[in-house]
Amino acid sequence: MKTKWSILLLFMGIPCMTSAWNYPVFGTSNVLDLPALLVQHANGDQTLALYTAAVETDTAAQYTDKVYVLRDSLYPVEVRLCYRSYTAYAMWEMWMEISHQEKKPILLKRFDSGHFTIPQGNVWMTHFHGDWAAEGTPTESKLERGTISIQNTDGTRNAHVDAPSVVFALDGPLEEYHGRTVAATLCWSGNYELRCNTTNDGQHHFYAGISPQASEYVLSPKETFITPHLAVAYSESGMNECSRIFHRWARETGRINHPSMPRPILLNSWEGIYFDITEERMIAMIDDIADMGGELFVMDDGWFGGKYARNTDNAALGDWKVDTRKLPNGLQPLIDHAHARGIRFGIWIEPEFTNTLSELFEQHPDWVLRVHGRKLRLGRGDTQLVLDMTNPKVQDFVFNIVDNLITTYPDIAYIKWDANTSLENYGSPYLPKDKQSNLYIAYHQGLQKTLQRIRAKYPDVIIQNCASGGGRANYGLMPYFDEMWVSDNNDALQRLFIWWTASYFFPANTLAQHVGGSPYHMTGRNLPIKFRCDVAMFGRMGLELNSRHMSQDEQVQCAQAIQDYKQIRPLVQQGNLYRLVSPYADKHTMSLMFVNDQQTEAVLYGFRTDFLKQQYIEKVRLKGLDADKTYRLEELDVVGKKRAPIVLSGKTLMEEGIDLPLYSDFASVVYKISIEK
Ligand code: GLA
């Protein structure tokens, strides 16, 4: 059995206990290497020549940390290269800490979190590009000589255009269950750059860190700059094992909030009624979700505003008081009604932003990011602006939005925290002139500080990470959140694709999936209600449609789905995920399953994605079961007559597989699997 450190050494060129560190530094390394670290000293010199002053090892319950303490031979600069190796699974984190005692600030011009080398071979790299409503599209190519740069420069969000994650398949194109695989994600919510430089000798040098573009960091004497962590999982049997390592790591090491708390089933008001909030409509929606067996109601955008009403997306962000034109009696009657119906109450906010049409902007024009002397560039609604999160007063303001809401309404159980505009006005009225280039980073440091305060005071509230959908799908922010809104594209067919790659790195209890309307407003597609429910049942289940417009059949099917989801919730939210048939594989189906640790219970899903191109679909071979046990497969989410249960051995299910009964476009099936008594 190889030790974790020796796997790193063998496949990734990261130091083992005895070898040297692997982190190219400008001024020390071969000039042909791309540097991971480039520093300009106060006197203008741009070189570093680091030597190992000490190696520290520290062992905790879950991991061992190894830190190379490096010092410059000429300047009082110290760099700590930190590597964390987990004991129970093939997972590492790496990061860098830099400090100095020069008389004046130094400039960090490149400061990657980590670097590793993958040896020559048939190596393929996958990254996840996309856009709003099309997050996480996998793009794979064989690594050839030259440099690939994956980056995101949105400023406030970092997962729409390209996510801060890559996967290397070392033995040919990426597969779920075969091949040496390295999956890496940068735990950061701001701009980043992931570089892969394949040198002439065929070695692949991977670098990951905060993007230095317009973001050179001015480091004051005695200040320590700590980079975000780069998290890396390794498997000798494909992507699926890497995902399961990531899921376990996220749950066991505080990378998500409330890792084992069952997530409530909810109805969100947004796609049902948008800004048209009234007390009557909210009460009706609360009643509907209660009648269908749900557990929480979320009042989305549109509930606030004073001088400016929030009737569309162009006004009132920052004016976080209840709009009494829409809710004359305030929030309390809604919360009370929800409680009377056994439903918890949640609310939408977008705290880091304002609009030019807002009282906040009128009172504090210096609280927004802006460039002195230039016209403001405006975001969503042609009025949206980003608050200056570097400013402690703004941080207090943002903290107080949550604090006021929860102290006034202690029964608020859930917050949807949104972020709908990029950082386009590159200037902070708060930061001093000589630290303006710290803005991209200082923004996210300010945000994290604020979220830490919120979490310290309100550990129990459930908070959803939403950023125009999945714009903040990163482990920089997830420690403060319970779940994410995976995409604004809630068409259930599209969701099969978006969810597929989201699950590469994030466990299913963090991936919110909602039953949407049909035809779906964005795609115009009509999908059967059972298909829409079955898709919602493999994430954190919810509904997002106008419950008043649902037909009787739709309501009955949703109630059935909610009832059945409660049975399988521990499996979905805590079980081991096995992706079986990829929607990207053009096999006309998508299939996945979750299995418990004891291999006694599982849930299997199958979806027909198209019928026209091929009527016959391949058998699906299950995974993760015990070959020697006999299992019983019973259909879930069926209104009316169910098919007869299937009883087969784990061996047959996994080796021969089963035919999924998907005989028409958008047919779907969910099987609960248990041990046959
Ligand atoms: C963003 C979110 C949506 C919704 C709207 C409200 O687009 O992603 O889910 O909350 O904002 O304006």
- Cα separation, 38 vs 48, whole angstroms: 8
Task: Decide the pairing of beta strands 630-636 and 646-649.
Answer: antiparallel
Indicate whether 14 pLDDT > 60: no
Please give the pLDDT value at position 31.
74
Q: What is the pLDDT of residues 499-521, one digit of tens each?
A: 999 999 999 999 999 999 999 99
Q: Which residue bears the tokens 């975001």?
A: 379
Which of 8-22, 381-395, 460-474, 585-599 is least confident?
Answer: 8-22
Amino acid at 439: L
Q: What is the pLDDT of residues 448-474, one digit of tens each?
A: 999 999 999 999 999 999 999 999 999
- Cα separation, 378 vs 474, whole angstroms: 25
Q: How far is the CA of 595 from the centre of ligand 1 (A)?
A: 33
Please give the pLDDT value at position 12.
56
Q: How far is the CA of 179 from the centre of ligand 1 (A)?
A: 39
- The mean pLDDT value for 11-29 works out to 68
pTM above 0.75, yes or no: yes
Ligand 1 atom 6: residue of nearest CA:
301
What residues contact 615, with CB distance under 8 A and at least 6 apart?
none
Contact 295, 266 (CB under 8 A): yes
Please give the pLDDT value at position 18.
41
Q: How far is the CA of 485 from the centre of ligand 1 (A)?
A: 9
- The mean pLDDT value for 95-122 works out to 96
- The mean pLDDT value for 18-22 works out to 65
Candidates 348, 349, 340, 350; CA nearest to 283 is 340
Q: Which residues line ligand 1 (CB under 6 A)?
A: 270, 300-301, 313, 348, 418, 420, 466, 468-469, 485, 488
Q: What is the pLDDT of residues 117-176, one digit of tens each?
A: 999 999 999 999 999 999 999 999 999 999 999 999 999 999 999 999 999 999 999 999
Task: Decide the pairing of beta strands 296-299 and 344-349.
Answer: parallel
Best residue for ligand 1 mutational test, from 275, 300, 487 (most atoms within 8 Å of Cβ): 300
Indicate whether 277 pLDDT > 70: yes
Indicate whether 395 pLDDT > 80: yes
Indicate whether 290 pLDDT > 60: yes
Q: How far is the CA of 417 from the centre of ligand 1 (A)?
A: 10
Best residue for ligand 1 mutational test, from 273, 348, 486 (most atoms within 8 Å of Cβ): 348
Q: What percent of the chain has pLDDT over 70?
A: 97
Q: How far is the CA of 483 from the centre of ligand 1 (A)?
A: 15
Where residue 6 falls among pLDDT bands split at 50, 70, 90? low
Indicate whether 615 pLDDT > 90: no
Q: Which atom of ligand 1 is nearest to the CA of 416?
A: 10
Q: What is the pLDDT of residues 571-607, one digit of tens each?
A: 999 999 999 999 999 999 999 999 999 999 999 999 9
Mean residue pLDDT across the chain: 96
Question: Is the Cα torsion angle 16, 239, 250, 593 positive or negative in sign?
Answer: negative
Please give the pLDDT value at position 58.
97
Please give the pLDDT value at position 3.
53
Please give the pLDDT value at position 677.
86
Q: How far is the CA of 339 from the centre of ligand 1 (A)?
A: 25
Indicate whether 111 pLDDT > 50: yes
Q: Which atom of ligand 1 is nearest to the CA of 467?
A: 8
Best residue for ligand 1 mutational test, from 317, 468, 489, 521 (most atoms within 8 Å of Cβ): 468
Ligand 1 atom 11: residue of nearest CA:
468
Candidates 532, 547, 418; CA nearest to 477 is 418
Q: Which residue bears the tokens 């065929």?
A: 202
Best residue for ligand 1 mutational test, from 488, 498, 521 (most atoms within 8 Å of Cβ): 488
Best residue for ligand 1 mutational test, from 466, 495, 498, 520 (most atoms within 8 Å of Cβ): 466
Ligand 1 atom 8: residue of nearest CA:
468
The H-or-E segment that residue 455 falls in is helix 439-457
Rounded to the nearest 5 degrees, what angle is found at the Cα of 274, between the Cα atoms of 527 and 482? 80
Indicate whether 16 pLDDT > 50: no
3-state helix/strand/coil string of 28-51: CCCCCCCCCEEEECCCCCCCCCEE
